[in-house]
Each structure stands twice: as structure tokens, then as C-alpha cells.
A and B are shown apart, each in its own frame.
Chain A
Amino acid sequence: MNTIQLMPLEAIECGAILAEAVLDAQGHVLLPAGLALETHHLEALARRGITTLSIQPDTDAQERAARQEALRQRVLYLFRHTAAEPSAQALLHATLAFRLEHLQ
């Protein structure tokens, strides 16, 4: 899902992309939309008393999470008849860990 996230300032990490411009009380643009936030931007906003920002969703992270979930489901499908069997446990867990680690 690609909805804009309203995030608390302290939770935002360097590199996050501003989804909407930050304006001052007079409507002047302090920071434009699309800017990759750096530490000094975050510190300046905190000094101005700004507590939340609209951040673009991290699509790379979302896609990665989706691929990981698809892979998890695939492995569970392979083990669909044996996942509950004690003899399969070690291979199931090792396979999940190995395939997730090597996911392209």
C-alpha cells in the first residue's frame, strides 16, 4: 500500500522522503516535498516545535516485505502435509532461514 504516512519526528530516520512541503506560519516553504531528510533538517524542525511529518512510504521496504512473505508462504506450502511432524521441524526452520537470507 502506498499511502503517505504521518510520522512522529523522533521516529523519522535520515533518508526518509518528505511527502508534503513543510510550511511556516506565513505559508513559506521551509522544506520542499520530495526532499531526502538529513539530520540537520530534523534538528531544525524539532527546534521549531514541529512534532510530525508526512513521509513517503518506503516502497523498497514494502516490496522486500512482500517478497519475504511470498517466500514464507511458498515454503509453508511445500511443507503443507508435514509442517506439524517433528521429523520435519529442523529442515523447515533451516529452509525458511536460508531462503529468506538468500532472497534476491
Chain B
Amino acid sequence: MTLPCLTDITARIQELPAISGVTLDLLRSLNDGEADIDALSRRISQDQAIAARVLRVANSPFYGLQMKVGSLHDAIVVLGFSTVRSLVVAASVVCALPATHCPGFDAARFWRHGVGTAAAAQALARALGRNPDTSFVAGLLHDIGRLVLVVLLPAEYARLLQQSRQEDRRLVDVEQEVLGFDHAGVGAALAQRWNFPEAIREALAYHHQPDPAAGHGLASLIHYADAIAQALDLDEAEDSQMPHLDQAAVDALGLDRQALNTLLAETRVRFDSYRLML
């Protein structure tokens, strides 16, 4: 049997379930200023599943609100537009891309790791003075190429998962060996196809091998956030293993011991809140 190449996979991306227009608009606007609150809340409120997930997170103890917020409009007023925007994007993507049946693939674990990486990326971005919303979304989506492979090649990907487990090897290495490309490349192709902001596309493409010298700032941040989420066992999976950390990327972040400790604590607290959207 001939395995598909990256070009074949890219050509089949339109077979994925559609992601809503409003979500794509929000994704593309992550770097923009604040939009019209009423317009956003009206558009999102039409999707009750998304609105309910966002409100669950908004009402979690992490935000410490005195009163329960009952509408997206109120959530935006209390939490701010950019916070709610990134929560809406996250909830929309989680709702839009259900996994098909692929033996060995645990969708709940996948999203726990995504949300964990998002929480770590957001905490890291705040510590480093970078954009927390873009970092959050990039963290959530960093392995989205894996989900694409699960949906488009369920039988082949099930074999990769089994091989990775049996040989106790990182899945990304097995993907490269068997397919000749990996989920990072697929995620970048998806980002290109759906017109994600360039920084997010780059983060998806290079999160396993960032090059700070080439300006992969967000990719370096996601590279480390991915490791933090694994180190804290946020995916709750027995067979997890740490990714290789690139020394130049670690050095570029410049975190001392105290900053790292704060980061771990922040990630843990944020994760407990954000996981409510799953």
C-alpha cells in the first residue's frame, strides 16, 4: 500500500468538518485590536455549544468573579474582549473537530494536552511580555496536524500509534520515519489553508524544531509550553514522554529557576480552569 505524501494530505484538508466563519474571522483577528463587543456576542451566541463552554470557563474560580456571568456579552464586559475571543476560538475548534474512530487515539487526552499547552503558553507569554491570546491559541492548536491525520488516515495512523507505543519512541519521530513528514507539517498546511495568522502557522510548523535565530519566537514559546504541559502530566496519560528541548530555544526564553516555578504554578491553575471547556 502506498502511503500518501504531504501534498496529498494538504489536498484533502477540505474533507475535514467545516470550522465556522465566525471562528475563522476571530482567529485571523487575534493580532487586531478590540472589535465590536455587541456584534461578537450576537454572532457567537447563536452557537449555544460554544457559548456554554466559554461561560463554564468564565465562571470558573480562576477568574474569581463576584457574580456569575450568564451571557457572552457580560463575559466580554467583565473579562475583556481579547480573553473571551481566545476562549471562543478554542471552544469553537474543540467543537468543530471531533475525532473519527482511530484505535489507540484518545481524543480526550489529545485535547487535555492541547489545553495544557495553551495554558502554559499563555502563562509564558505573560511572563515574557508577549501576546497571550495568540500564544494561547497556538498552544491549543500546536498538534492539530495529528488530528487531521487521525481523521484522514485513521487506519494508517492507528498503526503509527501502536508502533510508537511498542517501541517507546516519540510519535513525531515515527511519523517522520513512516510517512516522511510529520503532524507539524500537516498542521502548518492546515493553518495555511484556513488563513491562520502567519505567527500561528509558523508555530505549528516549527514547534518541534524552532530556530530562534530565524525569528521563530512563538514556535520557541510553544516548544517549551508543550514540554511544561507534559512535565505536569496534564494529559493524564501513562505513556507520556517529554519532547526533546532545543537548547537555543530554551536559552532564548531566558527563564530562571524562580520564573520556571511561577510558570509551573500558573500553568496548573490556568489548566484547571480551561479544561472546563472540554
Real binding pair:
yes
> How far is B228's CA from A95's CA once the two chains are assembled, in angstroms?
8
Closest chain B CB from A69 CB (angstroms): 16
Interface string of A72-104 (1 = CB under 8 A from B): 001100111110011110111111011100100
Measured as residues with beta carbon below 8 angstroms from the partner, the interface class of chain B is 20 to 34
Cβ contact within 8 Å between B245 and A88: yes
Cβ contact within 8 Å between A87 and B250: yes
A85 contact from B241, B244, B260, Cβ within 8 A: B244
Q: Which one, B2-10, B15-23, B124-132, B230-238, is touching chain A?
A: B230-238
B240 contact from A78, A82, A92, A97, Cβ within 8 A: A78
A-B contacts, CB under 8 A, total: 58
Residues in B neighbouring A80, C-beta threshold 8 A: 168, 241
> How far is B231's CA from A95's CA once the two chains are assembled, in angstroms?
6
Within 8 A of A (CB), among B219-247: 224, 227-228, 230-233, 240-247
Measured as residues with beta carbon below 8 angstroms from the partner, the interface class of chain A is 20 to 34
In the assembled complex, B275 has its CB within 8 A of some CB on chain A: no
What residues make up the interface of A, taking CB atoms closer than 8 Å to B? 74-75, 78-82, 85-88, 90-95, 97-99, 102
What residues make up the interface of B, taking CB atoms closer than 8 Å to A? 168, 170, 224, 227-228, 230-233, 240-247, 250, 255, 257, 260-261, 264-265, 268
